[in-house]
Amino acid sequence: MTVARVKMLAGNWKMHKLNSEVEAFFAAFVQSLGLSPEQRLAGRLDLLFAVPATILAQAAKTCKPLGISVAAQNVHWEASGAYTGEISLPMLREVGVTATLIGHSERRQYFAETDATVAKKTKACLQDGVLPLVCVGETLAERDGGLVESVISRQMQSILAAVGSGAGLSDLVVAYEPVWAIGTGRTATAAQAQSVHALIRSLVTDAFGASAASALRIVYGGSANPSNIKELLAEKDIDGALVGGASLKPEEFAKMARAALAV
Residues contributing to the site for ligand 13P (CB under 6 A): 12, 104, 177, 182-183, 221-224, 242-245
Q: Which residue is nearest to ligand 13P (CB)?
A: 244
Q: Which of 113, 138, 177, 252 is catalytic?
A: 177
- Taking the complex as a whole, the smallest distance from the CB of residue 82 to ligand 13P amounts, in Å, to 30
Q: How many residues does the chain have?
A: 263
Which residue lies nearer to ligand 13P by CB, 71 or 212? 71
3-state secondary structure 210-239: HHHHCCCEEEEECCCCCCCHHHHHCCCCCC
Reply yes or no on whether 251 is catalytic: no
What is d(CA 180, CA 223) in angstroms, rounded to the nearest whole number?
10
Q: Work out how close the CB of 2 gets to ligand 13P at its nearest, in angstroms, rounded to a whole number.
A: 28
CA 207 to chain centre: 22
43: left (phi over 0), alpha (psi -120 to 50) or beta: left
Catalytic entry in 76, 104, 138, 197: 104
Closest approach, Cβ 100 to ligand 13P, in A, equals 12
> With respect to ligand 13P, which residue has the nearer C-beta, 67 or 244?
244
Q: Is 38 a catalytic residue?
A: no
Tell me phi and psi for residue 135, to 5 degrees: -100, 140
Judged by CB, which is closer to ligand 13P: 224, or 259? Answer: 224
Q: Which helix (H) or strand (E) holds 28?
A: helix 19-33
Residue 58 or 223: which CB sits closer to ligand 13P?
223
Q: Active-site positions?
A: 104, 177
